[in-house]
Structure 1
Amino acid sequence: MSVYVGNLSYEVTPEDLTQVFAEYGSVKRVQIPTDRETGRVRGFAFVEMSSEEEETAAIEALDGAEWMGRGLKVNKAKPKEDRGGGGGGGRRGRY
C-alpha cells in the first residue's frame, strides 16, 4: 500500500518528498507522475513507506498541512482500478 499526496507544487522533487515523509518513518519509494506530452509534474505523487503505522502517522500529520505554499491532501492510495482493455477510441472502421 502507499500514500497519495495531492495538491503538490509543480516544482516538487522525489528528494523533497522523501525528506518530508522520512520524519514519520522509512521511505521505500516515491513516484511523481508526469504528463506524457509535456513531461511536467502532474501535481500529485505516491509515497511508499516501510509499514502501515508509518503511513498512518504521515497521513495524520501531513493531511491539510501547508507545504511549498500549498495545502496538501494526503491519504491512503486507492488500488489502481482496471479500466478495461483496448484503447484507441475514435472510429472503428470505414463504412
Structure 2
Amino acid sequence: MNPLTQTKNLQKLIENELKLGAVGTTKSWHNQYRDSAWVFYGGMPYELTEGDIVCVFSQYGEVVNINLIRDRKTGKSKGFGFVCYENQKSTDLAVDNFNGTKILGRIIKVDHAGNYKPPKEYEDADEITKFLRESGCQGELHQIEEQNDKKVQKEIKSERDDGSRHDDRQRKKSRSRSREKEKRRERDLARDRSRERHKKRSRSRGRDRSRDRHRRDHHKKDKY
C-alpha cells in the first residue's frame, strides 16, 4: 500500500471516529497508543530542517525530541522521521490535525509510533533526559505513576491493617480490664454483703443470749 493510500485510510478512520463521538474516550483508536508520546511523520519537504519540523509540530504541544531520518552519505533529509511530545495527548491532536495536510505542496502523513525507540546516540544523557527523549513526560509515565500509586496504596493499607490490629488489641485489653474491674467490684460487693450478714447474725445471737439470761434470772427470782 502506497503512502498516499495509507494517509487517506487514516483520514477516513479519524473522520469515522468523529462521527461516532469516540474522540477522547477509551473506545477511541488513539487509546491503544496511550503508552507512547512519539509520532511518525512522512512526506515532509526535503528542505525542512529539524528546527522547521519542530515549529510545525509545536502547534499541538511541547516537542522534547525529534529524529529526522537523513541519508548517511549525503546527510540530506529523506522527508520522514519521528517526533516526541512532552504530553502524550498531544500525539492525538497532531495525528488528527496534521495527517493529510499539505506543507509546501506535499501531503504529509502523521501517525502514532507505538513501539519506536530513539537512536542510541543519547546513551550519554542523564536518566531524566533519556526518559523525556524516549517517552515524553506522559508516554510511559502514567505506568510508573500507577505502579507508585499501587505501592503507596499497599503501604497505606498495610499501615491501616497494622493500626486496625493494634486498635483491636487495645480494645481487647480495655474490655479485659473492664471485665476484671467488674469482677473485683462484684467480689467486693459479695464480701461486703457476707460481712453484713455475719454482723446481723452475730447481733441476733447476742440478743437471743441476752433474752435467755434475762429469763433465767427472772425464773430464779420467782422460785425463791
TM-score (norm 1): 0.78
Question: In 1, Cα distance between the equivalents of 2:104 and 2:65?
Answer: 21
1:21 aligned onto 2:57:
yes
AA partner of residue 81 (structure 2): A
Aligned residues: 81
Q: Deviations over 1:12-59 (max 9, x none)?
A: 111111111111011111110111122111110211001221111011
* Alignment partner of 1:72 out of 108, 113, 124: 108
Structure 1: segments with no counterpart, 5+ residues = 82-95
1:38 aligned onto 2:80:
no
Higher relative contact order (CA 8 A, sep 6+): 1
Q: Once superposed, which parts of structure 1, at least 4 consecutive aligned residues long, lie more than 3 Å away?
A: none
Going from structure 1 to structure 2, the CA distance change for 1:49 and 1:80 (only over 3 Å counts) comes to: closer
Flag the structure with larger Rg.
2
Q: Deviations over 1:56-89 (max 9, x none)?
A: 10110000000122101000124259xxxxxxxx
Question: What secondary structure does 1:74 align onto?
Answer: strand
Where is the helix percentage greater, Structure 1 or Structure 2?
2
Going from structure 1 to structure 2, the CA distance change for 1:80 and 1:53 (only over 3 Å counts) comes to: closer
Counterpart of 1:52 in structure 2 is 88
AA partner of residue 86 (structure 2): S
Question: In 1, Cα distance between the equivalents of 2:110 and 2:116?
Answer: 17
Q: Calculate percent identity across the aligned residue pairs.
A: 32
Counterpart of 2:219 in structure 1 is none
Question: What secondary structure does 1:33 align onto?
Answer: strand
Question: In 2, Cα distance between the equivalents of 1:45 and 1:12?
Answer: 12
Instruction: Give the C-alpha shift of residue 10 in structure 1.
Output: 0.7
AA partner of residue 105 (structure 2): G
Question: In 2, Cα distance between the equivalents of 1:72 and 1:31?
Answer: 16
Going from structure 1 to structure 2, the CA distance change for 1:20 and 1:42 (only over 3 Å counts) comes to: same
AA partner of residue 44 (structure 1): F
TM-score (norm 2): 0.34
Question: What secondary structure does 1:32 align onto?
Answer: strand
Structure 2: segments with no counterpart, 5+ residues = 1-35, 118-224
